[in-house]
A and B are shown apart, each in its own frame.
Chain A
């Protein structure tokens, strides 16, 4: 079952392109993005190791069950609700970013609210499924999508318009002071492990630790690819002119023998799969956390009222939130979420590790 875990980690690593993590890093390309990335690889690896190690001491228990024994209700309930909202926000922000992309590249004449509304309907259906069946869906999607990702990377690296010399120039700026925004954004790439708070009910954390080396290796490779490949195509100056650098980068690739020549549509298809799946997972985890915090056990009683009302409100707020903001301020909101996420994640991991230490002594 450990493979599902690595697939979720991989999913999180690839989905960050939609979240515009490359954009945040590219904006800081002259102010220490490279060293922030190196730093975030270290932080991400340490955090994920600590978390998985701590989780492995509670086999088949989710975070709510662990907290149930260890923390009093007045700490446990608000903390779980807060975490749940963080997860829900991640899913909503991802699907909102993707709705912008659909509007821009696939359906320019369609109303943004309608696009997002239908995506939210899909999420409502998907995220109310059981965690186990979502894990199966993760496997199917990753297996179908990864050949295309490999193909795009291969096409990019062998393209005539890929200039490695730009990457060398970008590396000239590697010895700058790192900044918090870049570290927060880049360390996001490792954050897939955190879904273990609920997935630990289905996945044995002990098995994961056997192949732990995959996380830093995959993370470093994907971070390097996603940050440096756009430089190779767009140069270090003009790259700052684009809202979605990866879409423009892939638009420079031509599939000579392809059914369609424009590779950017392939990327949109990959994004569609990944962002919907990512949002489903996040909403599912958020929902489970919320249900445990409020003590609702609808799987046993069969009454789904709370789930539907809660996710309905969330879906409405997602559409409403995107309606009130323009794209620029939307990405600012994403940035704020990123900056908030890192301390919350560190807090969660530290709390859990300390609690698990106590368990050993007891």
Chain B
């Protein structure tokens, strides 16, 4: 009996220690939902950091999000965050920060330092989405999307493939960006977010050459890059040749890329694409099977050409988002000589694209 009493008392005392939020209640915290980092044009204080702070409201309703935006210039992100703490009444909590937006200039000038802070902080999630803000990160963060129920939720949902599978959006997360940046033979990319009134446009991607930001791809090239990256996002393929115009709704899109270095002939990259799809819209009636097969052949040709020209554009930029260099290293070795050799091969390598398109049907109509 005595022992039981002691045990009960002990557990009662221990239960008092179970105060969930590390001794700081939720009403004493400010949840940062997105961070933007820009270049401030002042070389002494180059980092222009903006934080979007969620203001909790009793009702969660679409379009009724409340947030506060605070900004600060400082000589490092850590310093900026410290200074910003003096501007608000509560402690920052980065645990819900899922969106990191960067300005073009800051990544050109201080990319390594910026990334280091985000990678080192344990409360910045490795799965946080990274993006480039166009024209600036602050302007992207400032937007109050009409549909969002929580601050910054609109951007998160656009990047999330379970809610939005637009083929123009290529999400990139922090850990993956870091790996791509550090590794030789694969280069990172960042989706570009443009603020519109009450919403965003995310339909381009900016490539990185080595460790420096390079050129942007246009919408169509972005879509093709997305398909080549084997993400689960599906799209629509438009085919137009002479009078015949039709659209293919893609059900599955799989690519297999191999780097082939033959002994005597020129090295080339083999891209094998497998697509399953349906006709979604067609100008002419497809009453016979041979017409469907003809369309199938036509579409494969069009896709092959498109993919080839996109790959050549990326090659001209000098970036390697598909990790062809890694594939080369996996076969031929990781040493520095091999990396140098690949860097010589890549600008002149040829692309051989082959598409297996299968049109499964024509929808409800012939």
A: which residues have CB within 8 A of B? 104-110, 118, 160-161, 163, 165-166, 168-169, 172-173, 233-238, 241, 248, 251-254, 256-257, 261-262, 264
Contact = CB atoms under 8 A, between A and B. Distances in A.
A173 to B, nearest CB: 7
Interface string B152-174: 00000000111000000000010
Contacts of A253: 127
Given A107-B22, A163-B323, A248-B126, A238 B182 contact: yes
B361 interface: no
Contacts of A234: 175, 179
A118 B125 CA distance: 28
Nearest to B172: A161
B100 to A, nearest CB: 14
A236 B325 CA distance: 14
B176 A252 contact: yes
A8 B161 CA distance: 40
Given A160-B230, A169-B326, A252-B176, 20 more contacts: A105-B122, A106-B22, A160-B231, A161-B173, A163-B326, A169-B330, A172-B330, A172-B333, A172-B334, A233-B179, A234-B175, A235-B179, A236-B334, A237-B182, A238-B179, A238-B181, A241-B119, A241-B182, A251-B125, A256-B160
Interface in B171-192: 173, 175-176, 178-179, 181-184, 186
Interface of B: 17, 22-24, 119, 122-123, 125-127, 160-162, 173, 175-176, 178-179, 181-184, 186, 230-232, 323, 326-327, 329-330, 333-334
21 contacts: A105-B122, A108-B122, A109-B22, A109-B23, A109-B24, A160-B231, A161-B173, A163-B326, A165-B323, A165-B330, A166-B326, A168-B330, A172-B330, A235-B179, A235-B183, A236-B183, A237-B183, A248-B126, A248-B175, A252-B173, A256-B161
B114 to A, nearest CB: 15
Given A168-B330, A172-B330, A248-B126, A238 B24 contact: no
Contacts, number: 82
Contacts of A161: 173, 175-176
A235 B182 contact: yes
Contacts of A173: 334
A262 B179 contact: no
Nearest to A251: B126
A161 to B, nearest CB: 5
A238 B125 contact: no
A256 B162 contact: yes
Contacts of B160: 256
Contacts of B326: 163, 165-166, 169
A236 B335 CA distance: 12
Contacts of B175: 161, 233-234, 248, 251-252
A248 B126 CA distance: 7
Q: Which of A173, A251, A262, A264 has the most CB of B within 10 A?
A: A251
Contacts of A248: 126, 175
B152 to A, nearest CB: 14
A282 B179 CA distance: 38
Nearest to A237: B182
A105 B123 CA distance: 7
Nearest to A263: B127
Nearest to A250: B126
Contact of A172 (B23, B162, B323, B329): B329
B126 A252 contact: yes
A110 B23 contact: yes
A272 B58 CA distance: 35
Contacts of B323: 163, 165
A362 to B, nearest CB: 48
A348 to B, nearest CB: 38
Which of B126, B161, B182 gathers the greatest number of chain A CB atoms within 10 Å? B126
A235 B334 CA distance: 12
A65 B230 CA distance: 62
A161 B186 CA distance: 13
A106 B119 CA distance: 17
A161 B128 CA distance: 13
Contacts of A237: 182-184
A260 to B, nearest CB: 10
A242 to B, nearest CB: 9
Contacts of B161: 256
Contacts of B329: 169, 172
Given A233-B175, A238-B178, A251-B175, A261 B127 contact: yes
Rank and list the top 7 A-B pairs by shortest CB-CB distance, nearest first.
A251-B126, A238-B182, A168-B330, A235-B183, A252-B175, A254-B127, A235-B179
Contacts of A109: 22-24
A238 B183 contact: yes
A262 B175 CA distance: 13
A130 B225 CA distance: 61
A237 B24 CA distance: 38
Nearest to B156: A261
A308 B213 CA distance: 62
Nearest to B17: A118
B122 A257 contact: no
Contacts of B181: 238
A261 B125 CA distance: 10
Given A169-B330, A236-B334, A104 B182 contact: no
Contacts of A251: 125-127, 175
A330 B232 CA distance: 43
A334 to B, nearest CB: 21
A234 B334 CA distance: 16
Given A105-B122, A238-B178, A241-B182, A252 B334 contact: no
A272 to B, nearest CB: 14
A301 B223 CA distance: 77
A233 B178 CA distance: 10
A262 B334 contact: no
A133 B123 CA distance: 38
